[in-house]
Amino acid sequence: MTKKYFGTDGIRGRVGKEPITPEFIMHLGYSAGKVLTAMDWHLMEGKRPTVLIGKDTRVSGYLLESALEAGLCAAGVDVFLSGPMPTPAIAYLIRALRLQAGIVISASHNLFEDNGIKFFSAQGSKLPDEMENKIEAGLNTLIETMPSEKLGKVQRLKDASGRYIEFCKSTFPYHLDLRGLKIVVDCANGATYHIAGHVMHELGADVVTIGVQPNGLNINLECGATHCSTLQKAVLQHHADLGIALDGDGDRIMMVDKQGRLYDGDQLLYIIAKHRKQRRLLRGGVVGTLMTNLAIENRFKKMNIPFLRAKVGDRHVLELLHEKKWYLGGENSGHIVCKDKHTTGDGIISALQVLYALRDTQKTLAQSMRGVSLYPQRLINVKISKPFDFSTNEAIKTMQEAAEADLNSKGRVLIRASGTEPLIRIMIEGESKHKVNHWAERIAEAMRIAANHS
């Protein structure tokens, strides 16, 4: 079944336009509820399934939360509400409370005008395709509200933040702490605003928090993991040892050293993998994506660390990790998955894994990356107004072949449609920065022309 609504990271779009409307979201909640009530939940003794709903700090979260709540209750499902909580916190709390599913209302790194719905299974992982297909199929049926005595009930989950803070701290080695480190934490005015700083502080760090004044409209706005210049300035201003930038829902991370240099997901993944290899904690290999810098792959080869590329998206990274029975993977965008610590990508826990490596080896970020020079990369996003099959366009195919020939096996050309936004992403990578920029701009211009005439 071809999915109409579910993308690589749930359902996402502009608030007020289908599918992110209260009518659709209520029907979505109802359909998901019917799928849950039809499942054979062992040892439940006739109890109703319970779903935990969390959200980030977007103003539209109130609207969509109420719509989901109504749909789920109409289907006979009980609901817990956590309020603003990071996406990975919901994945943890589902398992900790033995619930049947979780839903996060978030558009991750997007600005406030967008929002989305992410589902998690009872195991704290993304829903399998089979369940997503069943939910989509249910959208074609009418809502038939359960009799009053069978309607779901709603209650607020108490101390969700406290539970999650303790969980994050438990992933950091007990014999180490962060005393003596001054850390700036940028929470992107998002779901970690009341979480991340406390985790670092309770582990002993001197913490400066920024991006912790959400107003519903400023999530990811010139802050966080998608706008790291704010963190870079703050680290220099406060003479901090390093900085941590999270995105709006807390599953991405970037870091900055005391000189203000930025370290992306590829570099942080490398630091964790290198440390685990040294400590004999790396079970199996590492999963990256099609976007992972070629220099990282080459370095892993020299270190005899198996490396595989998944399609872009943390969902695909997790699927390949599960298939290979490996535990570490990630994307250059800052999604890092440590499956021995959590079931999904978690920005705070990933930061703690990097900090573990730094404290254990007594090295800085720069020292940990010594000897690894990333290949220049250029990413250009081309906006499209409607779906466009660029793979059949002869002009683009010809230009891509010319770029690959010019890079002479010392680089890569990657063109793909975004799974979360109406964009075509063009990434060129190679040893020559001049060639990378040249071909990225030429292919992007050809893409704009082709998209306008499609």
Residues 128-156, buried b or exposed e (16+ Cβ, 10 A)? eeebbbbbbebeeeebeebeeeebbebee
Tell me which DSSP letter residue 224 carries: G
Among the listed residues 421, 413, 436, 353, the one whose alpha carbon sits nearest the alpha carbon of residue 381: 421
Q: Is 120 strand, coil or helix? A: strand
Alpha carbon distances (Å) from 68 to 15, 75, 88, 152, 321: 14, 11, 19, 12, 31
DSSP for 91-112? HHHHHHTT-SEEEEE--TTS-T
108 catalytic residue (yes or no): yes
Whole-number Å distance between alpha carbons of 231 and 243: 7
Among the listed residues 287, 369, 278, the one whose alpha carbon sits nearest the alpha carbon of residue 328: 287
Whole-number Å distance between alpha carbons of 28 and 22: 10
Q: Tokens 């029975």, residue?
A: 325
User: If 0-12 CB within 10 Å is exposed, 13-18 middle and 19+ buried, where does residue 261 land?
Assistant: middle
Q: Token pair of 1, please?
A: 């079944």
Half-sphere exposure (Cβ direction) of 14: Cα atoms closer than 13 Å:
3
Residue type, 11: I
Q: Which of 82, 108, 125, 161 is catalytic?
A: 108
DSSP-assigned beta bridge partners for residue 186: 210, 245
Active site residues: 108
